[in-house]
Amino acid sequence: MRIVTCAMVMRPYVERNISSKSHTTIKYSMKMMSSISETIIFILLGISTLAESSRHQWNTSFVFFTILFTFIYRFLGVAWQCFLVNRYRLIRINSKEKFIMAYGGIRGAIAFSLAALLCDNIVMGSKIFFTTSIVIVMFTMFIQVNTMLGSFAISKSQ
């Protein structure tokens, strides 16, 4: 957290003191590192989905209601935060942008990583959390993202 705070505070000063070539290099290096990190997490997700069958416990109602409540609370959270932000913005966030933020959402790699770290001895439901986090990630990646790309005619490069 300290590194992130330091980077946020120092950004205006650093940007003025580096060349445009260095700025471009840093920008694309960060994009590359973020893509590599995301790829590693999703490789781990795929491996753990197929290889670690002993860590899974399926409960249809738990998975269904988790997806449902995630969906509902994501929409409520985006609507509430956009309402608060729009009070102070000159250019308002419109309904289409709110829908894209709520429906596209995050894919849950952090939730999966946290569920993978749960200890079976301490958390009795760790297997069901692990399975449900994988299902949520798969649902948001394959169902939500693909329907959003088709609905709004968004290219994958955007």
- pLDDT of 28 reads 93
In this predicted structure, the answer to whether residue 150 has a pLDDT above a threshold of 80 is no
Residue 145 has pLDDT above 70, yes or no: no
Q: Side-chain half-sphere of 59: how many Cα atoms within 13 Å?
A: 13
- 41 and 113 in contact (C-beta within 8 Å)? yes
0.85 surpassed by pTM: no
What integer pLDDT is reported at residue 1 of this predicted model?
Answer: 72
pLDDT score for 100: 79
- 63 and 55 Cβ atoms separated by less than 8 Å: no
Separation of alpha carbons 98 and 76, rounded Å: 10
Query: What pLDDT, on a 0 to 100 scale, did the predictor assign at position 80?
Result: 94
Between CA 12 and CA 149 the distance in angstroms is 35
pLDDT per residue as tens digits for the range 34-52: 889 878 877 877 787 777 7
Query: Mean pLDDT for the chain?
Result: 82
Q: Is the pLDDT of residue 26 over 90?
A: no
Contact (CB, 8 A) for 110 and 37: no
Average pLDDT over residues 20-34: 89
**pLDDT at res. 62:** 92
pLDDT at 55: 79
Instruction: Compute how many other C-beta atoms are within 10 angstroms of the C-beta atom of residue 105.
Output: 18
Dihedral sign computed on CA atoms, order 91, 94, 100, 102: positive
**Span 103-137, pLDDT tens digits:** 776 667 777 778 888 888 888 888 888 888 888 88
> What's the farthest any 2 CA atoms get from each other in the chain?
56
